[in-house]
Amino acid sequence: MQTDLVAALDIGGTKIAGALVDDRGRILVRTQRATPAREDGETVMRAVEEVLAELTASPLWSRARAVGIGSAGPVDASAGTVSPVNVPGWRGFPLVARVRAVTGGLPVELIGDGAAITAAEHWQGAARGHDNALCMVVSTGVGGGLVLNGRLHPGPTGNAGHIGHISVDLDGDPCPCGARGCVERIASGPNIARRALEGGWRPGPGEDASAAAVAAAARAGDPVALASFERAAQALAAGIAATATLVEVDLAVVGGGVAKAGDVLFAPLRTALKDYATLSFVQRLTVAPAQMGTDAGLVGAAAAALTRRSDVTAV
C-alpha cells in the first residue's frame, strides 16, 4: 500500500526549501531556491511558487494530503500570515492562502522556524521520547520551540518558544527587539564575538571575528574567549532554567552554529544550569546537542502537517 505524503516548506532569509515527506520523516523529493529577500513580496512569493511547482510536478504529488510550512518569524498562524524580519517585502503576507491556492486547496499548517526545528528534534532527533522539552537554535540569533505534554506547543500564533527574547538581565544592554538583556543579546554568535573583541581578543590572520573563531581560541586556552563563552552559557542557562521552572521541561536541546563549539559551550552551560535550575522539580533537567542537520526545518514542517492531519482524523 502506498502511504500518504505531506509537502513541507522551510522558508528562511537565505533559502526556500521544499520537499515531499512520508509519514516516517523520509524526504522523497526535494527542491530549493535562493530567497530573493531584498525584493518585493510578489517576487519572494514567485520563488515559493517555483518550489511548489517542482513538487506538484512530481509523480508522487498525488499522494500529498497536507502542506506544512516552517517560516522565519514572526509568523501569525491564526491569521495565516508571515512577517520575517529578514524579508522586508513580506509584512503580514498571507502565505497560507497563497500556498493553498497553488496546491489545490490542501490543508496548510503554518508554524515558526523555531517550532519547526523543535518538531523535527522531537520526531527524529535528540528530543525523541521526551514529552516536555525545549529545543533551541543558537546562531546569528537565538530561537526555539517547546514540546509540552508530548506535543509541539506552537502557541496560538505559532511563535511560542522564543527564548532568545526573554530578558535575563532586566537592566542589561538594549536589544534590537526593544527590550533589555535578552538571551540573544548575550548568547548569540555575533554577541560572543563582540564581547571577545571588547575584551581584547583578535582573530588570527585570515580568520573572521566569528563565534567559531572565538571557540577555537577558547579551546586553545584564551581566557577572554573562554570568558565570552561562559557569559553566553550563563545567559542560556538562566533562560533554560526559566523555561523549565515555568513549564516543566526536562530536556533542553541546543543546536545551531554556536552549539558546534561543543564543550566550550556545553561544559559551562551545564555548570551554570546548576546555579539557576534550583527548585526540586527542575533539578533533573539535562542539556543535549541537537541531532537534526540542515533538513530539520523541512522535517519539522512535515511533522506539523502530519500532526494536524491526525488531529483532524481523530475528531
Q: Which helix (H) or strand (E) holds 99?
A: helix 95-101
Site string for a copy of itself, 75-114 (x = CB under 8 A): -x------x-------------------------------
The cell numbers describing 149, all together, are 505534554
Contact status: 132 vs a copy of itself (CB under 8 A): yes
- Return the C-alpha torsion angle 134, 85, 77, 93, nearest 10: -160
Q: With CB under 8 A as the rule, give the number of residues binding a copy of itself.
A: 46
- Between strands 15-22 and 27-34, the pairing is antiparallel
Q: How many CB atoms lie within 10 A of CB 156?
A: 9
Contact status: 162 vs a copy of itself (CB under 8 A): yes
Contact status: 179 vs a copy of itself (CB under 8 A): yes
Per CB under 8 A, which region of 22-30, 148-156, 202-210, 262-270 contacts a copy of itself?
148-156
How near is the Cβ of 203 to a copy of itself at its closest, in Å? 28
Using CB under 8 A, pick the residue from 16, 120, 218, 235 that binds a copy of itself: 235
Per CB under 8 A, which region of 39-47, 50-58, 149-157, 211-219 contacts a copy of itself?
149-157
Using CB under 8 A, pick the residue from 180, 194, 270, 308 that binds a copy of itself: 180
Using CB under 8 A, pick the residue from 31, 32, 157, 210 that binds a copy of itself: 157
Using CA atoms, how far apart are residues 111 and 10, in angstroms rounded to an integer? 10
Near a copy of itself in 255-284, by CB under 8 A = 275-276, 278-281
- Between strands 27-34 and 64-71, the pairing is unpaired
Contact status: 68 vs a copy of itself (CB under 8 A): no
How near is the Cβ of 27 to a copy of itself at its closest, in Å? 30
SS3 of residue 294 by DSSP: coil
How near is the Cβ of 86 to a copy of itself at its closest, in Å? 15
Contact status: 146 vs a copy of itself (CB under 8 A): yes
Contact status: 251 vs a copy of itself (CB under 8 A): no
Comparing CA positions, the residue from 231, 237, 219, 233 lying closest to residue 285 is 237
SS3 of residue 176 by DSSP: coil
How near is the Cβ of 222 to a copy of itself at its closest, in Å? 23
Nearer to a copy of itself, 71 or 103 (CB): 71
| Alpha-carbon distances of 84 from 7, 29, 111, 174, 245, rounded to whole Å | 21, 26, 12, 21, 30
User: Please, are residues 86 and 46 in contact by the beta-carbon 8 Å criterion?
Assistant: no
Contact status: 254 vs a copy of itself (CB under 8 A): no
The cell numbers describing 37, all together, are 529577500
Comparing CA positions, the residue from 71, 65, 44, 78 lying closest to residue 155 is 78
Partners of 76 in the β-ladder: 81
**Contact residues: a copy of itself, CB under 8 A:** 74, 76, 83, 131-132, 146, 148-149, 153, 155-157, 159-163, 165-171, 177-181, 234-235, 238, 241-243, 245-248, 250, 275-276, 278-281
